[in-house]
Structures are given as structure tokens and as C-alpha cells.
């Protein structure tokens, strides 16, 4: 933390299991071989995650409150299946993501977390929940680069 600005931009996320990350690594290598001129920077497997809630700038007290919410959260494991590899949030974005199929378990976890955060005084979030895993970012906008592929076969427990 910076002593002049003790707040940090934080989020709450689910890690991606190792086996699923290995499958995504294979896909990223294939994409990289096909799209060498797009200047694509891949997200390291150790940094891949599925964001549940973006919290933004938090001071130390808010950070402690968010940690307390997560530690008290009780929810069964979430089983995800990827639906598509595509640009996100739209087809012209520079972000390449893996998007899961709709999942009631994931929606339930997000809602439970959201409600617990609201009870702790966090502001109401107005954006709809659109889960994704960031795989890569393109350095330059490339409107002609079509990226919508079926994902690698991943059916994992998070």
C-alpha cells in the first residue's frame, strides 16, 4: 500500500483449478500461433480467476470488512462449464475471455456474497453479473480479428 493513498482497488474472485488452467494454456498456445500479429499478452495461469464482485478502492477498514464477509461465507462448490472463448464485453473489445455457461450455483454464490457485502455497508452494485475468465489482452484494437471459438473441454469444480 502507498502511504499517501492507503486504499487499493480490490475484487473477490474464484481461482481456476490447475487442470482447467492447463486446458486453457493449451488453447492460448493455439490462439497465439494463429494470431501472432495481434500483439496478444496472455494472462499467466497463476493470475486467472473468475471475478465475483469488483469492490474498487477500499480503505483498510473496508478491506477488513470484505475479508470478514468472505471468511464467513458458506456455499457448496460451484461446477462450471465453459460456453465460449470470445472478446468481452463486446466483439470489438481488446480483452479475450472464457465465458461459462449459465450456472445457478454461480449465480447463487454471487447473490449471497453481494447481499452479505450490502449488509456490511458496501454500496449497491448496479451492473449485471457477467462472469468471465480473462485469458489475454490485445495491445492494439483490431476490429478485423474475429475471436469466437468453442472453448477447450473444461468441466471443472471451483
Nearby residues of 136 by Cβ (< 8 Å), 6 or more positions away: 28, 31, 40, 41, 42, 43, 95, 96
Judge whether 3 lies within some domain. Answer: no
CATH code (residue 46)? 3.90.1140.10
pLDDT mean for each 10 residues of the chain (158 residues): 58 90 82 65 92 90 94 90 84 86 94 94 87 87 58 53
Q: Which domain holds residue 108?
A: 8-157
State residue 82's pLDDT score. 86
State residue 36's pLDDT score. 59
Count how many domains the chain has: 1
106-127 residue pLDDT tens: 999 999 999 999 999 998 878 8
Task: Say whether 101 sits in a helix, a strand or coil.
Answer: coil
State residue 116's pLDDT score. 95
State residue 120's pLDDT score. 93
Amino acid at each position: 500500500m502507498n502511504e499517501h493513498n492507503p486504499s487499493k482497488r480490490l475484487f473477490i474472485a474464484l481461482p481456476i483449478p490447475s487442470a482447467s488452467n492447463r486446458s486453457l494454456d493449451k488453447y492460448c498456445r493455439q490462439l497465439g500461433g494463429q494470431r501472432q500479429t495481434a500483439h496478444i499478452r496472455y494472462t499467466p495461469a497463476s493470475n486467472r480467476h473468475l471475478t465475483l464482485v469488483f469492490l474498487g478502492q477500499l480503505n483498510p477498514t473496508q478491506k477488513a470488512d470484505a475479508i470478514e464477509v468472505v471468511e464467513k461465507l458458506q456455499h457448496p462448490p460451484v461446477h462450471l462449464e465453459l460456453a465460449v472463448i470470445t472478446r468481452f464485453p463486446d466483439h470489438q473489445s481488446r480483452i479475450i475471455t472464457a465465458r461459462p455457461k449459465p450456472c445457478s450455483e454461480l449465480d447463487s454464490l454471487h447473490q449471497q456474497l453481494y447481499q452479505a457485502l450490502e449488509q456490511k455497508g458496501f454500496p449497491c452494485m448496479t451492473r449485471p453479473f457477467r462472469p468471465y475468465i480473462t485469458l489475454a489482452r490485445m495491445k492494439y484494437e483490431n476490429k478485423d480479428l474475429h475471436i469466437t471459438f468453442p472453448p477447450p473441454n473444461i468441466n471443472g469444480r471451483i
